[in-house]
């Protein structure tokens, strides 16, 4: 019986300890000079610029690395120099010369407590690394470059084939981020994934897998010492946890939900930042697959889709309508008004859709199986389309897979139509990756993302790429888009903007208008109010 | 005369309230146990013997059981009126009990010595060490070899006979005036049975205790008891000393019981098989009106179906519940 | 006892081996391409092939299996397919969180469940017993994530009493405990229900045992009968199922870690599952199974210690 | 005699008020699931942009989700998945598990031993982990979920039937049947199976509760039946993100899971009381 009383008192003690532990804590994080940002992701895949594609990866790289050039912080419409002091493009557009800034020091690393100076040798090494499929995800693009070191601070980069805006591949974006040869070789590729060495305003201090990366200010940053002491990047794939954490002041800024109700809710308790340019959500019909080989079926489904309804779902704040694959703010883009003038708007019209289906031999519609990712931005829209098409008798059976599997599957050509959300730097890349026959998934010469198996604009794409007169070039790009819509190949729905919520302590140091890589940038100007 | 009576049970009614209905397990029991003597309580399984024993100990589980009526006079005090604390002082101290199942009646987690010592230190107020010494002494008394070593063993390390000896040692450890033995040998091998019974007899003499011996085995009664109460369906049907019962059983049920014992000194003819009592014990949920035994009784007549016969003394010291003898 | 222990310990070895093989086979048979998961939407065919080779995915299955076992023997669980972090390092970080959560939930379950089970058994068929039975039935019926969400909603969102995020600062015990309260409650209350039910029925069984009657016939006080004789015996079956309960607890902790956004094995596993990180996935599964096996071993050894029938068997 | 026993058991069951509540609850759930199409006020997948995230009112008793779908209708249709997966996987698990267990108990040779060792191994994993292991391998979907959970539950049935069969095996009438030259399958089906059926049925209802919970857990982790099919676990999972402004999205399906699991547990408890006379006596 003694034992029993002992047990009971132990239980009471246990609860008491928990309670006291609970009450003695002050809620919320300490008000230190550390910015805490939470990403919609379970972890970073890699902080190596050659090996990344998640938003969280690029947001981290943006703090750690620099490019030769950069998009002006918070504004992609302006390209300015970064590591390069200045640069020249040759008259024929087939070579670029970069002149490096002198005295750019890297983060300290093993054996080099003061870091090392960046030279053109590093730039050349970067290009080589980016060309190797073993070390880079972007090898097919960088294959086109060849580096020639002139001196320690001057490097000439030649193109093998003509390219539209080749300098874009040397900006602070993906493969454009510069790593240091010596550091990469010293610490090894593997460790470089999680403790990379760059020249940016922040250096990786500690990486805790599945939890966070702690970045400390890089005192010798060439633009000056950052105002923040450190940045903690937390991986919190659960929107709820992020939201709670923000409300309780445990974090300062979080990746939000790209949806109107959430935005409105959060506007009441925090500052919501919505910025572009965003990603284009579009459907690509697979013309090699029955019944989508029938133009009337494709057009019918375009009529059956209400862009307005899709937009209402996402919400006015988070999305803008898109009527053509190249957005109007990009060279060669078309606005909805332009499309309307051409009469290619495919304005929602169920009767017309039914009529077209009947003409095509499907008066009662048909059933179709479709694979979709579980990622909400895709799934939400796909489920809405599922509900819309049901009204014309087209039943979509959805197989939901995780996002990585989705990318595998769509490249195996499983889908009769494919939803894709992305941004590309220019019209040439958009068009050639999605509609050039070389890029056809599985069977193409260099398979990329031509899910529609469309082959009829190859000539036009090449013609535009080789056109040196930029007005004529844009005209050809517009011509391609018109043809795509006429043939009912691609149905652009909307541009999905980026949503972050934050507290009022943050002063970014610049205005976040449009960021290409889809995250709130944090740099040396960023500070926290006390 | 009165002074030699140790325990007197008067009109004891113990009922069980079950899902199936009311069960009158003890339905007006009257028994008397004299000092230093052994009373045998016989009857088929389920006739209420154990309930009577447990009622005396006041160990009936409540609910569903309840002692609804009666008196149990032990040393001139009515046990049913005692407080629980006072009753505890009697249990294990002045009245102790030995159970049927030696395999399960000992706590498997405690050493045998401790289980005996527990009662000793409780009732005799001695130190733990003395209690343990006494326990070893008791183990020796019940004929356990190496009592020191055995005291440190756990029940599962002992045989059934050994365990029953431990139970007896436990029961006798506080010099009780009354020992209730509920089928103490049923679960044991025949050879061990005899040893245990002999032991009980010997110790009874030594300690001067009385025994209430519950059994369905008339052979055991013949060896141990001075008087016998025959029980049937919750009632005593015959109460008499052992000699008279064996020589001249009067109640048809007792007669039946007697005839079902194989007699060693008689040669059973080939064509004559052992006699049994026909029929089954009536369900206690659904007793017949009148004499409970009537359905199995080959001497039953009209009166038996009408009223339960009373227990009457048909000759000095011989009580009987049967219309055949006690007809008014 | 020693013989029993050795036998019991030796038995776990083939068990572990089979578990390991099973995990390996299952994970290898899974669809989805880790190389694709790693390279993402810009992957090229050459890139994929090169990466597969680098990760050893092009080797025949049996070779991969031998490598897997060999590495395990050397305590090398490989590196994450996604970011090259050694899995051992990742596990070292998350394992303590999962352990502190599951163990504290178990402790809470025992400390609350056992006394409540005894109490309701002693008050059989009275109102305390009935309400205890209903509450514990609800307890074993409520999914851990739902209980977690309710606790989170009430105590963190509405009442603002507890934090919502993570597991607290390293090295700050108070903070760690503070973050542990709600997750422990959401797992521990479920464990309490299980243990309480088991204790109650075990206690009821024991109270009907002959030796309890024997103890009463000795004139022992009710409390001593209940706690010294009945309770200790009733505890044995309870202890013997603690291993099974711990496995249930371990399974539920996955959801709890997700709800409370706590680092831990479960969170790591779900992430690895989504990213097709086979190395991490198989390691986490191996750890879960190993944990379960060792907890069972531990429970069995304890069981042997308290039950003399095994100790001196 | 047997009939008497059954009638007595039925009486005991009916006297157990908690169990009767469970029985009617289950019956209600099954009816709702069966007639979901008639009971549900709306089409569970019909979206309505203009009534999104409305809180519970007379039109939508359980509110609507961020697609404007009626939560009540989705909860009602979700019962189909939960019950179907729970019941089917248990039937599947019971059949393969008890057969394997009975066989192992009867065989006691190498194969039987192997089966029981395999059972030990499978019992090492938490149910969710083991199911995930399977789902990772075979992919997602309702049929696969039933298969995975069935396999997860099978070892329990195997252990149960192994134990019971072993104890029955030695009884006289089996010996007698064997002496009469009955073949093994016949013995198993004719003599052993009917004898262990009672115990198996009790555990069936308790383990259906477990299976429903496991299904909900898997759904919650995103490994269940894929959307837009409404499943309770899925609904909680997506609803959690709106916990602060639309708690009904996660609370109602969560409650539904709890009630369903509870109902089966109640029945199982009641049945166990009926089967175990020791516990119900007194």
Domain ranges (residues) in chain C: 2-73, 94-306
Please tell me whether residues A300 and A219 are part of one structural domain. no
Shortest CA gap D273–chain C (Å): 11
Cβ atoms of residues D147 and D138 within 8 Å: yes
For the segment A352-398, what is each residue's pLDDT rounded down to a tens digit? 999 999 999 999 999 999 999 877 889 889 989 998 999 999 999 88
**Mean pLDDT, range B168-185, rounded to an integer:** 83
- CB-nearest to B64 from D11, D15, D282 is D282
Chain C residue with CA closest to D240: the answer is: C149
Cβ atoms of residues B71 and C177 within 8 Å: no
Report the alpha-carbon distance of residue B306 to residue B290 in Å, rounded.
5
The answer to whether the CB atoms of D49 and A402 lie below 8 A apart is no
- What is the separation of C-alpha B214 from the centre of its chain, rounded to a whole number of angstroms? 3
D12-37+70-280: which CATH topology? MetI-like fold (1.10.3720)
Report the alpha-carbon distance of residue B256 to residue B273 in Å, rounded.
14
Report the alpha-carbon distance of residue D33 to residue D20 in Å, rounded.
20
Report the alpha-carbon distance of residue D123 to residue B178 in Å, rounded.
54
Of the two residues A179 and B9, the one the predictor is more confident about is A179
The answer to whether the CB atoms of A404 and C175 lie below 8 A apart is no
Cβ atoms of residues A493 and A307 within 8 Å: yes
User: For residue D194, what are the contacts with CB-CB under 8 A and spacing of at least 6?
Assistant: none
Please tell me whether residues A214 and A283 are part of one structural domain. no
Chains that touch D (3 or more CB pairs under 8 A): A, B, C
Output the furthest CA–CA distance in chain A (Å, rounded).
96
Of the two residues A320 and C310, the one the predictor is more confident about is A320
- Window from D40-54, D185-199, D240-254 with minimum mean pLDDT: D185-199
Please tell me whether residues A285 and A241 are part of one structural domain. no
- Which CATH number fits the domain that encloses residue A452? 3.10.105.10
The answer to whether the CB atoms of A261 and D52 lie below 8 A apart is yes
Please tell me whether residues A232 and A101 are part of one structural domain. yes
Using the Cβ of B76 and the Cβ atoms of chain D, whether some distance falls under 8 Å is answered with no
pTM above 0.90, yes or no: no
Token digits of residue A132:
């190797």
- Interface present between B and A (3 or more CB pairs within 8 Å): no
Please tell me whether residues A430 and A320 are part of one structural domain. yes
Residues of A in contact with C84 (CB under 8 A): 46, 189-191, 193-194
- pLDDT beneath 70, residues of chain A: 1-31, 53, 517
Residues in chain B, how many?
A: 328
Report the alpha-carbon distance of residue B151 to residue B154 in Å, rounded.
8
Please tell me whether residues A218 and A307 are part of one structural domain. no
Please tell me whether residues A223 and A281 are part of one structural domain. no
Shortest CA gap B191–chain C (Å): 24
Token digits of residue A411:
């490249």
pLDDT at D245 over 50: yes
Please tell me whether residues A187 and A229 are part of one structural domain. yes
Structure confidence at residue C207 (pLDDT): 87
Token digits of residue D141:
């979907």
Helix, strand or coil, per DSSP, at residue A415: coil
CATH pick for C94-306 out of 1.10.10.10, 3.20.20.70, 3.40.50.300, 1.10.3720.10: 1.10.3720.10
Structure confidence at residue D172 (pLDDT): 58
User: For residue D172, what are the contacts with CB-CB under 8 A and spacing of at least 6?
Assistant: none
For the segment D60-108, what is each residue's pLDDT rounded down to a tens digit? 888 888 788 899 999 999 999 999 999 999 999 999 998 898 888 877 7
Please tell me whether residues A229 and A354 are part of one structural domain. no
Taking each helix axis from N to C end, the angle separating D17-34 and D248-275, rounded to the nearest 10 degrees, works out to: 130
Q: In what order do the strands lie in the sheet with B5-18?
A: B21-34, B5-18, B65-74, B77-78
Cβ atoms of residues D128 and D214 within 8 Å: yes
For the segment B272-313, what is each residue's pLDDT rounded down to a tens digit? 555 666 666 666 666 777 777 777 777 777 777 777 777 777
Number of domains comprising chain A: 2
User: For residue D180, what are the contacts with CB-CB under 8 A and spacing of at least 6?
Assistant: none
Token digits of residue B17:
């309230």
Q: Which of B18, B53, B96, B107 to mutate to test the interface with C (most CBs of C within 10 A)?
A: B107
- Could you tell me which of A128, A187, A137, A182 has the C-alpha nearest to residue A155? A128
Instruction: Could you list the beta-strand ranges (E) of chain C.
Output: none
The reply to whether A9 falls in a domain is no
The reply to whether A363 falls in a domain is yes
Helix (H) or strand (E) holding A527: strand A527-528
Shortest CA gap A174–chain D (Å): 30
The answer to whether the CB atoms of D123 and C247 lie below 8 A apart is yes
Token digits of residue B108:
């498997």
Chains that touch A (3 or more CB pairs under 8 A): C, D
Which residue range(s) make up the domain with A149? 34-252+503-528
- What is the separation of C-alpha B216 from the centre of its chain, rounded to a whole number of angstroms? 9
List the 8-37 stretch of D: residues with Cβ below 8 A of B: 8, 11-12, 15
Structure confidence at residue D279 (pLDDT): 44
DSSP-derived secondary structure letter, C231:
I
Please tell me whether residues A284 and A172 are part of one structural domain. no
What DSSP string describes chain D?
-HHHHHHHHHHHHHH-HHHHHHHHHHHHHHHHHHTHHHH-SS-TT---GGGTTPPS-SSSTT-B-TT--BHHHHHHHHHHHHHHHHHHHHHHHHHHHHHHHHHHHHH-SHHHHHHHHHHHHHHTS-HHHHHHHHHHHH--SHHHHHHHHHHHHHHHHHHHHHHHHHHHHTSHHHHHHHHTT--HHHIIIIIIHHHHHHHHHHHHHHHHHHHHHHHHHHHHTT-SSPTTS--HHHHHHHHHTTTTT-THHHHHHHHHHHHHHHHHHHHHHHHHHHH-HHHH--
pLDDT at B190 over 60: yes
Q: Give the count of Cβ contacts less than 8 A between chain B and C.
A: 76
Helix, strand or coil, per DSSP, at residue C76: coil
DSSP-derived secondary structure letter, C157:
I
Chain C residue with CA closest to A408: the answer is: C36
Please tell me whether residues A243 and A319 are part of one structural domain. no
Chain B residue with CA closest to C222: the answer is: B88
For the segment B136-164, what is each residue's pLDDT rounded down to a tens digit? 888 887 778 888 888 888 888 888 888 88
Q: Which of D42, D45, D47 to mutate to test the interface with A (most CBs of A within 10 A)?
A: D47
Quote the percentage of chain D above a pLDDT of 90: 28
Cβ atoms of residues C288 and C249 within 8 Å: no
Structure confidence at residue A352 (pLDDT): 95
pLDDT classification of D229: cutoffs 50, 70, 90: confident
**Mean pLDDT, range D157-165, rounded to an integer:** 87
Shortest CA gap A424–chain C (Å): 11
Residues of D in contact with C27 (CB under 8 A): 133, 136-137
**Mean pLDDT, range D109-132, rounded to an integer:** 85
β pairing state of A34-39 and A253-255: parallel
Structure confidence at residue A135 (pLDDT): 81
**Domains of chain D, residue spans:** 12-37+70-280
Q: In whole numbers, what is the pLDDT of chain B averaged over residues?
A: 80
Shortest CA gap B20–chain D (Å): 9
- Which CATH number fits the domain that encloses residue A66? 3.40.190.10
Structure confidence at residue B308 (pLDDT): 78
- Interface present between C and D (3 or more CB pairs within 8 Å): yes
pLDDT at B269 over 60: no
DSSP-derived secondary structure letter, A105:
B
Report the alpha-carbon distance of residue B304 to residue B283 in Å, rounded.
18
- CB-nearest to B104 from C211, C218, C219 is C211
Chain A residue with CA closest to C221: the answer is: A1
Report the alpha-carbon distance of residue C273 to residue A405 in Å, rounded.
11
pLDDT at B268 over 70: no
Q: Which of A248, A305, A314, A387 to mutate to test the interface with D (most CBs of D within 10 A)?
A: A387
Taking each helix axis from N to C end, the angle separating C173-207 and C87-122, rounded to the nearest 10 degrees, works out to: 40
Residues of B in contact with C229 (CB under 8 A): 107, 110
Chain C residue with CA closest to A133: the answer is: C47
**Mean pLDDT, range C105-114, rounded to an integer:** 94
**Mean pLDDT, range B317-322, rounded to an integer:** 80
The answer to whether the CB atoms of C214 and B109 lie below 8 A apart is no
Structure confidence at residue C82 (pLDDT): 67
What DSSP string describes B82-125?
S-HHHHHHHBTTTEEEE-S-TTTSS-TTS-HHHHHHHHHHHHH-
pLDDT at C38 over 70: no
């Amino acid at each position: 019986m003694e034992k029993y009383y002992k047990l009971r008192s132990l239980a009471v003690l246990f609860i008491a300890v928990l309670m006291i532990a609970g009450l003695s804590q002050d809620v919320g994080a300490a008000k230190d000079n550390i910015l805490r940002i939470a990403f919609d992701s379970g972890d970073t895949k890699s902080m190596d610029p050659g090996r990344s594609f998640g938003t969280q990866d690029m947001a981290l790289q943006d703090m750690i690395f620099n490019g030769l050039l950069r998009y002006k912080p918070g504004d992609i419409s302006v390209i300015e120099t970064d590591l390069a002091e200045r640069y020249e493009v040759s008259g024929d557009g087939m070579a670029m010369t970069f002149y490096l800034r002198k005295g750019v020091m890297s983060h300290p690393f093993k054996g080099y407590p003061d870091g090392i100076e960046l030279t053109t040798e590093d730039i050349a090494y970067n290009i080589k690394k980016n060309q190797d499929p073993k070390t880079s995800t972007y090898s097919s693009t960088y294959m086109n470059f060849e580096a020639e070191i002139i001196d320690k601070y001057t490097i000439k980069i030649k193109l093998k084939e003509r390219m539209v805006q080749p300098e874009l591949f040397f900006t602070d974006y993906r493969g454009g981020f510069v790593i240091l040869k010596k550091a990469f070789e010293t610490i090894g590729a593997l460790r470089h994934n999680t403790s990379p060495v760059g020249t940016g305003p922040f250096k990786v201090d500690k990486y805790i897998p599945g939890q966070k990366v702690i970045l400390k200010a890089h005192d010798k940053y060439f633009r000056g010492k950052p105002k923040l002491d450190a940045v903690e990047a937390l991986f919190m794939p659960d929107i709820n946890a992020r939201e709670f954490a923000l409300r309780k002041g445990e974090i300062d800024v979080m990746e939000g939900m790209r949806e109107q109700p959430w935005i409105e809710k959060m506007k009441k308790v925090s500052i919501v930042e919505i910025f572009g340019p965003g990603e284009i959500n579009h459907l690509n019909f697979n013309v090699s697959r029955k019944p989508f080989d029938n133009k009337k079926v494709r057009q019918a489904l375009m009529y059956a889709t209400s862009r307005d309804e899709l937009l209402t779902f996402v919400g006015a704040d988070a999305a803008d309508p898109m009527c053509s694959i190249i957005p109007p703010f990009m060279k060669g883009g078309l606005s909805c008004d332009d499309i309307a003038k051409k009469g290619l708007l495919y304005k929602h019209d169920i009767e017309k859709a039914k009529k077209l289906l009947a003409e095509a031999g499907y008066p009662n519609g048909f059933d179709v199986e479709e694979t979709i990712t579980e990622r909400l931005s895709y799934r939400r829209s796909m489920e809405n389309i599922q509900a819309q098409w049901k009204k014309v008798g087209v039943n979509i059976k959805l197989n939901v897979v995780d996002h990585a599997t989705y990318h595998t599957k769509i490249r195996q050509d499983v889908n009769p139509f494919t939803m894709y959300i992305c941004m590309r730097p220019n019209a040439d890349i958009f068009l050639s990756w999605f509609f050039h026959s070389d890029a056809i998934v599985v069977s193409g010469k260099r398979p990329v993302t031509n899910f529609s198996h469309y082959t009829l604009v190859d000539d036009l794409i090449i013609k535009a790429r080789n056109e040196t007169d930029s007005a004529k070039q844009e005209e050809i790009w517009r011509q391609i888009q018109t043809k795509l819509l006429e043939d009912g190949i691609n149905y652009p729905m909307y541009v999905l903007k980026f949503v972050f919520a934050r507290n009022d302590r943050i002063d970014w140091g610049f205005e976040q208008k449009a960021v290409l890589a889809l995250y709130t940038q944090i740099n040396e100007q960023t500070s926290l109010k006390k | 005369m009165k002074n030699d009576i140790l325990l007197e049970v008067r009109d004891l009614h113990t009922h069980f309230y079950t899902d199936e209905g009311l069960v009158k397990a003890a339905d007006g029991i009257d028994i008397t146990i004299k000092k230093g003597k052994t009373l045998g309580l016989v009857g088929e399984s389920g006739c209420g013997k154990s309930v009577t024993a447990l009622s005396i100990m006041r160990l009936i589980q409540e609910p569903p059981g309840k002692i609804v009526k009666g008196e149990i006079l032990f040393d001139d005090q009515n046990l049913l009126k005692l407080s629980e604390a006072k009753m505890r002082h009697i249990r294990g101290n002045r009245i102790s009990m030995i159970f049927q199942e030696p395999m399960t009646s000992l706590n498997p987690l405690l050493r045998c010595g401790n289980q005996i010592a527990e009662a000793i230190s409780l009732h005799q107020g001695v130190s733990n060490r003395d209690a343990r010494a006494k326990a070893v002494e008791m183990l020796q008394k019940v004929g356990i070899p190496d009592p020191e070593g055995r005291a440190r063993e756990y029940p599962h390390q002992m045989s059934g006979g050994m365990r029953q000896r431990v139970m007896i040692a436990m029961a006798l450890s506080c010099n009780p005036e009354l020992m209730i033995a509920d089928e103490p040998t049923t679960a044991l091998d025949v050879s061990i049975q005899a040893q245990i019974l002999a032991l009980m007899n010997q110790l009874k003499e030594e300690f001067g205790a009385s025994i209430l011996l519950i059994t369905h085995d008339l052979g055991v009664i013949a060896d141990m008891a001075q008087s016998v109460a025959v029980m049937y369906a919750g009632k005593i049907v015959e109460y008499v000393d052992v000699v008279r019962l064996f020589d001249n059983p009067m109640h048809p049920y007792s007669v039946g019981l007697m005839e079902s014992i194989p007699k060693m000194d008689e040669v059973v003819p080939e064509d004559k098989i052992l006699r049994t009592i026909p029929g089954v014990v009536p369900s206690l949920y659904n007793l017949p009106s009148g004499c409970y035994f009537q359905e199995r009784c080959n001497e039953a007549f009209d009166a038996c179906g009408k009223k339960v016969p009373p227990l009457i003394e048909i000759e000095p010291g011989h009580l009987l519940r049967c219309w055949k003898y006690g007809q008014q | 006892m020693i013989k029993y222990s050795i036998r019991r310990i030796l038995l776990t070895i083939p068990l572990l081996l089979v578990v390991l093989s099973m995990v390996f086979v299952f994970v290898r048979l899974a669809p989805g391409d880790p190389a694709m998961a790693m390279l993402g939407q810009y992957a090229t065919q050459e890139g994929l092939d090169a990466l597969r080779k680098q990760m050893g995915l092009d080797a025949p299955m049996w070779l991969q299996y031998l490598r897997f076992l060999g590495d395990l023997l050397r305590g090398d669980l490989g590196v994450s397919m996604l970011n090259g972090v050694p899995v051992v390092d990742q596990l070292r970080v998350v394992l303590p969180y999962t352990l502190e959560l599951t163990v504290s939930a178990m402790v809470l379950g025992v400390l609350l469940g056992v006394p409540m089970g005894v109490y309701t058994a002693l008050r059989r068929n009275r109102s305390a017993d009935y309400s205890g039975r209903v509450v514990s039935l609800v307890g074993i019926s409520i999914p851990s994530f739902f209980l977690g969400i309710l606790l989170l909603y009430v105590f963190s969102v509405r009442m603002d009493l507890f934090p919502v995020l993570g597991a607290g600062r390293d090295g700050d015990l108070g903070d760690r405990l503070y973050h542990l309260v709600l997750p422990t409650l959401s797992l521990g209350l479920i464990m309490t229900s299980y243990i309480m039910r088991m204790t109650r029925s075990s206690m009821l069984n024991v109270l009907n045992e002959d030796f309890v009657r024997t103890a009463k016939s000795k004139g022992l006080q009710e409390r001593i009968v209940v706690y010294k004789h009945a309770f200790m015996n009733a505890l044995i079956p309870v202890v013997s199922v603690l291993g099974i309960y711990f496995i249930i607890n371990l399974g539920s902790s996955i959801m709890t870690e997700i709800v409370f956004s706590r680092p831990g094995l479960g969170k790591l596993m779900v992430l690895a599952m989504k990213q097709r990180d086979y190395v991490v996935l198989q390691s986490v599964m191996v750890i879960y199974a190993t944990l379960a096996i060792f907890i069972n071993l531990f429970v069995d050894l304890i069981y042997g210690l308290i039950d003399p029938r095994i100790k001196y068997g | 005699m047997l009939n008497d026993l059954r009638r007595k058991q039925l009486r005991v069951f009916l006297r157990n008020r908690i169990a009767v509540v469970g029985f009617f609850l289950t019956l209600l759930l099954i009816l709702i699931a069966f007639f979901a199409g008639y009971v549900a006020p709306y089409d569970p997948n019909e979206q309505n942009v203009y009534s999104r995230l409305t809180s519970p009112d007379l039109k939508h008793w359980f509110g609507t989700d961020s697609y404007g779908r009626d939560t009540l209708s989705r909860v009602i249709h979700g019962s189909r998945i939960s019950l179907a997966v729970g019941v089917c996987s248990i039937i599947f698990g019971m059949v393969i598990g008890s057969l394997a267990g009975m066989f192992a108990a009867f065989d006691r040779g190498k194969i039987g031993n192997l089966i029981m060792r395999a059972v030990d191994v499978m019992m090492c994993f938490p149910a969710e982990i083991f199911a995930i292991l399977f789902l990772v391998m075979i992919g997602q979907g309702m049929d696969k979920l039933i298969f995975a959970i069935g396999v997860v539950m099978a070892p329990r049935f195997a252990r149960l039937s192994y134990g019971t069969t072993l104890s029955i095996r030695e009884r006289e009438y089996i010996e007698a049947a064997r002496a009469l030259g009955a073949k093994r399958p016949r013995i198993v089906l004719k003599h052993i199976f009917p004898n262990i059926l009672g115990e198996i049925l009790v555990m069936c209802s308790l383990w259906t509760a477990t299976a429903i919970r496991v299904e909900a857990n898997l759904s919650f982790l995103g490994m269940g039946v894929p959307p837009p099919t409404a499943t309770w676990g899925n609904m909680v999972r997506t609803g959690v993100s709106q916990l602060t402004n639309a708690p009904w999205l996660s609370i109602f399906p969560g409650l539904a899971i709890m009630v369903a699991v509870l109902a089966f547990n109640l029945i199982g408890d009641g049945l166990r009381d009926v089967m175990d006379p020791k516990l119900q006596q007194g």
